[in-house]
Amino acid sequence: MDFVKEMKEKSKKMQKRLVLAEGTEYRTVKAARIILDEKLAASVTLVGKIDAVKAVAEKEGVSLQGITIVDPATSEKKDLYAKTYYELRKHKGMTQEQAAIDMGAQLRWGAMMVHLGDADAMVAGAESTTADVLRAGLAII
């Protein structure tokens, strides 16, 4: 069995909750659809402004049925996430105000979803550098 097929089979068995932090990137939106259609995860969440995610999906001809979209700016969890981020980073001089601003970033939001158990894994890197992805993960997870 080749590596990709083996990983897909493992993913189908594990059924994890996946967050794709770059939800307005067209390849990410397409990947979300494939992941659900192939039953590679129990759920997929795209992070980004809802209208922007929907516009990308429409342009690419991708159905968002079954895919959750979360906008950090309007989510009911934004205060909880900001407070948690502040608590994690206050020893480094983080203020509550800065924590609220920082949690608007898609990478940090996705990492916080994993930290708080709202997702099992985050995938990013289509738009962001490896350093930015790692920085978000190391600061939160």
Domain ranges of the chain: 13-140
Residue 131: CB atoms within 10 A of its CB come to 8
The CATH architecture to which 13-140 belongs is 3-Layer(aba) Sandwich (3.40)
H/E stretch holding 79 reads: helix 78-89
Residue 113: CB atoms within 10 A of its CB come to 25
Q: Which of the four pLDDT bands, split at 50, 70 and 90, describes residue 100?
A: very high
Model confidence, pTM: 0.95
Assign 3-state DSSP to the chain and report helix, strand, coil percentages, each to 5.
Answer: 55, 10, 35
Q: Per-residue pLDDT tens for 24-62? A: 999 999 999 999 999 999 999 999 999 999 999 999 999
User: Is 90 exceeded by the pLDDT of residue 1?
Assistant: no
Q: Per-residue pLDDT tens for 85-99? A: 999 999 999 999 999
Q: What's the mean per-residue pLDDT of the chain?
A: 97
